[in-house]
Structure 1
Amino acid sequence: MEKIIEIKDLFFEYDEGLKTIDHISFDIKKGDYVAILGHNGSGKSTIAKLLIGLLEKKGGTIIVNGIELTLENLYKVRDNIGIVFQNPDNQFIGATVRDDIAFGLENNCVPQEEMDEIINNYAAKVKMLDFLDHEPTKLSGGQKQRVAIAGILAMAPSIIILDEATSMLDPMGRREINSLVKELNQEKDITIISITHDIEEAKNADQVIILNDGKIVAQGEPDKILKDETSLIKSELDIPFALKVAKGLEKINIKTSMSLKKEVLINELCQLHSKK
């Protein structure tokens, strides 16, 4: 599968001597769902800003869709990427929710009838259809995040970066949005980069990258990386809930497959119980 993002020896520091991104390299394949995990201050949000040119790298190479990110072709690279930041207030432009979702579509000269259909579709998907005429500034934090996500999804870029984009949602709302994003990733082959500290979300990724102090400390498939308790603890990340329970059960001689997924663990326990 072709690479859509190539990061080579990327280096960045806010102040001289304070390395925020310390010479890291990784590739992302087209259509992959990648979770970049790390505690606060690990450098994960800095990567998002470097990818879209909000920060200028101090060294290394960033290639997006075959185009090297430079000051000269910054906007050409940005045409490929949609990003949702943790604080949605930084992204609101329209006077109403409808106007805000429409903004990018209008810039792309989407016909009005088609635009209305897209707006209604994605507003419904994020459960904000009844709020289209509301002012974004008067919404709750979680509702604002839903609107910001709808605006990016409506644009259907080839790459979507979610920088702690569901942090203000309750657990159920977070699961709904993550499920929607995963669905679009699979159906439309959109590359997703989720920057998060939520281990439960990372379980559904194709690839997990763990950052600590600006360095990659682990990288690979979630079933391998998220079972590495040493790396998780060292990086100040939680152990996946299902794995934690399975480890506890093992201590009392109840064997399971050590799955990361709660539903698998529950099913296994039900089967063990039915055999008694």
Structure 2
Amino acid sequence: METMIDIKDLSFEYEEGAKTIDHISFKVPKGSYTTILGHNGSGKSTIAKLIIGLLAAKSGTIKVGDLVLSLDTLDDVRRLVGIVFQNPDNQFIGSTVRDDIAFGLENLCVPHDQMEDMIHEYAKKVNMLDFLDHEPTKLSGGQKQRVAIAGILAMHPSIMILDEATSMLDPRGRLEINELVRELNKEEGMTILSITHDIEEAAKSDNVVLLNDGHIVNQGKPEDVLCDVKQIASLQLDVPFAYKISSVLKKQGFHIDPTINQEKLVKALCQLHSKM
């Protein structure tokens, strides 16, 4: 499978001698939904900033597509990558939703006579078509993130990075944004790299990179990484809800295999109920 992000032996330190990122290596396959999971202070957000060149690595390499990140390739790399930050207010440029989406199109030198149709296209894609004339800062948290994502989509990136993009949202807003991002991944084929401590989001991703104190302690498929209960607990994270329930039922003698997949759990429970 083609690789979109290739991190090799990457290290970074904010203070001399205190590594925030310590010789990590991982790959993000093209078209995948990959999560970097860890508690606060594990170095997750630093990785996002390194990938888009907001920070300079102390050592190691970052390759995005066919480009090795450097001062010479920085602009080209940033054309490939769009990033959604934790606080969307920090990303707003325009005084209205329309203006904010238009900003990305203007950067692409899209002719003004074509711009309005494209603004409608991206606003509709994130279900914000009815809010084009609203001021972004007065929207709800979930709506703000939708506008931020629309502005990024207007730039036509191949990769979207979400840096704790749902951590400030309520449960409903978090669910809506996660569903939107999964739709972009599955239907549009966009490569997603999500920096998160949301175990349920990680459980639904294609790949998980588990981070602790700047080190990768595990990586692989969610069903392999997230079922290591002792390791997950040692990192002050919680195991997926479906795994908790299915494991308890298994211990109580029910014929249910432990799973992190909620849909599989529901299906197993329905089958179990039909046999009773």
TM-score normalised by length of structure 1: 0.94
Q: How does 1:90-109 map to 2 (within 5 A)?
A: 90-109=90-109
Alignment partners' CA distance in 1, 2:182 and 2:154: 15
3-state SS in 2 of match to 1:217: strand
Aligned-CA RMSD value: 1.6
Q: Does the CA-based 8 Å contact 2:250-2:258 persist in structure 1?
A: no
Alignment partners' CA distance in 2, 1:141 and 1:190: 23
Instruction: Report deviation, 1:216.
Output: 0.3
Which amino acid is the alignment partner of residue 131 of structure 2?
A: F
Alignment partners' CA distance in 1, 2:104 and 2:168: 24
Tell me if 1:149 matches 2:160: no
Aligned to 1:3: 3
Cα 1:214–1:163 shift into 2, 3 Å: same
What fraction of aligned residue pairs are identical, expressed as a percent?
A: 65
Alignment partners' CA distance in 2, 1:114 and 1:236: 50
3-state SS in 1 of match to 2:165: coil
For structure 2, the residue ranges without an aligned partner over 5 or more in a row are: none
Aligned to 1:23: 23
Q: Does the CA-based 8 Å contact 1:101-1:150 persist in structure 2?
A: yes
List structure 1 runs of 4+ shifted beyond 4 angstroms: none
Aligned to 2:65: 65
Cα 1:112–1:139 shift into 2, 3 Å: same
Q: Does the CA-based 8 Å contact 1:145-1:168 persist in structure 2?
A: no
Aligned to 1:167: 167
Aligned to 1:43: 43
3-state SS in 1 of match to 2:260: coil
Alignment partners' CA distance in 2, 1:204 and 1:117: 34
Moved more, 22-31 or 183-192: 183-192
Instruction: Report deviation, 1:272.
Output: 1.1
Q: Does the CA-based 8 Å contact 2:142-2:176 persist in structure 1?
A: no
TM-score normalised by length of structure 2: 0.94
Alignment partners' CA distance in 1, 2:110 and 2:121: 15
Aligned to 1:199: 199
Which amino acid is the alignment partner of residue 58 of structure 1?
A: K
Question: How many pairs does the alignment contain?
Answer: 276
